[in-house]
Amino acid sequence: MALTHYLVLAAISLSLSNGLEAVQSEHEITRMHRTGYHFQPPRNWINDPNGPMYYNGVYHLFYQYNPNGSTWGNIVWAHSVSTDLINWKILEPAIYPSKPFDKFGCWSGSATILPGKGPVILYTGVIDNDNTQVQCYIEPQDPFDPLLRKWVKPDELNPIIVAGKGMNKTKFRDPTTAWWSKDGHWKILVGGKWKRKGMAHLYNSKDFVKWVRAKHPIHSADNGMWECPDLFPVSLRGRKGLDYSEEEKHAKHVLKVSLDDTRTEYYTLGTYFTKKDKYVPDNTSEDGSSGLRYDYGNFYASKSFFDPSTNRRILWGWANESDKPNDDIRKGWAGIQAIPRSLWLDSTRKQLILWPVDELKSLRGKEVTMTNLKLQKGELAKVDGVTPAQADVEVTFSFSSLHRAEAYDPSWVNPQDLCAQKGSMVEGGVGPFGILTLASKYLEEFTPVFFRIFQAPGKHVVLLCSDAQRSSLVDDPLWYKPAFAGFVDVDVAASKNLSLRSLIDHSVVESFAEGGKTNILSRVYPQLAVMDQAHVFVFNNGTEPITVDLKAWSMNAATIS
């Protein structure tokens, strides 16, 4: 059916549906937006993933958690364990304010597995009302406990690192996993700021007890406080993950920072010169918030770890809510973790690839397919046979020609602005085409994930959008409903197709373009397109015909208890 016809029906039915929210019970509203297979505890607020690791056959995920409510505050380190990264058992909190060195807060940090000793955690403590931040040490009470349920803070060691002279001690946090260097030292990074300059301070230790700050930060840039830094190697070939000690001749290095000012992350690819303890980004990596991103959507405070059982590097990221605190209080929960992602270097060596861990496929249920479906301009087709509010959708869009691609304006440097300007309903040449997720029957609500192709001198520019502007009937300026977007580095003239995978989970649409080159996570809260009233469509609103090949699966719920 033509897309324009659906919009006419939507206008007719809008008056009938506006009162739906008023008659829904509070319990129904809470349940309809809660995720089925993304990680979140049964209740309350969560934020940053902390200290992820694999140890003695068990995956451990710690995370910032408020045990007393669904807004930020009273933060402890909650602790969950898994054998498959998908189904989780929730344990008692591992770290909570209890000592003078963390009396005013236990903030983010990382785990390191020490040879012959086992795991230890470094985290940031706050010691006073002036927000003085120090780094603290904690170890398991019983390293032979397979679940590592109890943790202790040695008084004689803590705080293990304090800010030195000339440092901003209120902007000094989030220690990384440590790595062992051939110079005979353990090394970590701690995020910091001096005036407007964000930086990653480098510390060295021979015994993991006494730490000495290097004369200069390993890297810095003039873009505000660097939170949750991460430095790790990636192999030059293949998907195999690397531990931290890999020599630079066999790897590139990734430096990721989370920008406190904008609540966005970016990473650069470059070289870590071990003898100089200096990191230098490649000239193909922009050192700033408009550079490379793990995710161009609602994704922050990420943390990676090396999984020795599968030789993967795995990434966790936090997605907060996009509604208001009062909505979170009513729901009784706030915040999720994105699906863990495997991470490796693209064959171009200019960017990373991120892809949902293979274990997620264990939740796939019924499969439906569409093969060789032709969509002319203004047409869409419903994807029948799956649970559309809890699904995994993989689709390839093919086209025979790029002659109708719109001209690219060089001033379009911000993909998010471009997506807001040229949305899924704005007719184009090659695109917009994609999927409508969490869509109501008559399209009063929908969250489109789509491509648009432009012609620039000597190349084509591919835009990926995940647009939440029409995701909900709620018209509240305090709800965050952006048009997230990123460009996709692909030679579309050679391939004549584009691939997309979207993980749909009630209030989450997590999308991966071209095998994980460009990724966007959106948080949305439909009022009509919920549970079995949600729908998924494929659509084309460009003049160039599109061919669709699709596989979709109903997703079973993960066990998190």
Categorize the per-residue pLDDT at 30 as very low, low, confident or very high, splitting at 50, 70 and 90. low
Q: 3-state SS string over 408-462?
A: CCCCCCCHHHHHHHCCCCCCECEEEEEEEEEECCCCCCCEEEEEEEEEECCEEEE
Are 540 and 499 members of one domain? yes
Are 348 and 375 members of one domain? no
Are 318 and 465 members of one domain? no
Selection from 119, 91, 88, 94 nearest residue 106 by Cα:
94
Are 253 and 369 members of one domain? no
Q: Of 298, 331, 356, which closes a domain?
A: 356
In 202-356, where does DSSP find H-type helix? Answer: 325-331
> Residue 517 maps to which CATH number?
2.60.120.560
The rounded mean pLDDT for the chain is 93
Q: How far does CA 81 lie from the centroid of its chain?
A: 20
User: What is the structure's pLDDT at 87?
Assistant: 98
- Domain of 550 in residue numbering reads as 3-15+363-555
Q: What angle do CA 247, 61, 70 make, to 5 degrees?
A: 135
Distance CA 505, CA 34 (A): 8
432: preceding bond cis by omega (within 30 degrees): yes
Residue 137 lies in a domain: yes
Residue 32 lies in a domain: no
Residue 140 lies in a domain: yes
The answer, yes or no, to whether residue 25 has pLDDT greater than 60, is no
The encoded tokens of residue 223 equal 């873009």
Are 412 and 520 members of one domain? yes
Are 134 and 189 members of one domain? yes
Residue 76 lies in a domain: yes
Are 317 and 451 members of one domain? no
The answer, yes or no, to whether residue 13 has pLDDT greater than 50, is no
Dump pLDDT digits (tens) for 303-343.
Answer: 999 999 999 999 999 999 999 999 999 999 999 999 999 99
Measured in residues, the chain has a length of 561
The answer to whether 520 and 511 are in contact (CB under 8 A) is yes
6 three-state secondary structure: helix
In the chain, pLDDT over 90 holds for what percent of residues? 92
Are 287 and 177 members of one domain? yes
Selection from 24, 33, 37, 21 nearest residue 70 by Cα:
33
User: What is the structure's pLDDT at 289?
Assistant: 87
Residue 37 lies in a domain: no
Name every residue whose Cβ is closer than 8 Å to that of residue 35 and which is 6 or more positions away in sequence: 336, 505, 506, 507, 508
Dump pLDDT digits (tens) for 178-212.
Answer: 999 989 999 999 999 999 999 999 999 999 999 99
Are 322 and 371 members of one domain? no
CB atoms < 10 A from the CB of 492, how many?
20
Residue 253 lies in a domain: yes
Q: Is the pTM of this model over 0.85?
A: yes
Q: What angle do CA 166, 168, 170 make, to 5 degrees?
A: 150
Are 329 and 227 members of one domain? yes
Q: Which of 48, 102, 230, 467 is catalytic?
A: 48
The answer, yes or no, to whether residue 24 has pLDDT greater than 90, is no
Dump pLDDT digits (tens) for 56-113.
Answer: 999 999 999 999 999 999 999 999 999 999 999 999 999 999 999 999 999 999 999 9
Q: What is the CA radius of gyration of the chain?
A: 24
Domain count along the chain: 2
Residue 35 lies in a domain: no
409: annotated active-site residue: no
Are 393 and 517 members of one domain? yes
Please report, as a single letter, which amino acid is at residue 93: P
> Residue 134 maps to which CATH number?
2.115.10.20
Q: Of 341, 356, 371, which closes a domain?
A: 356
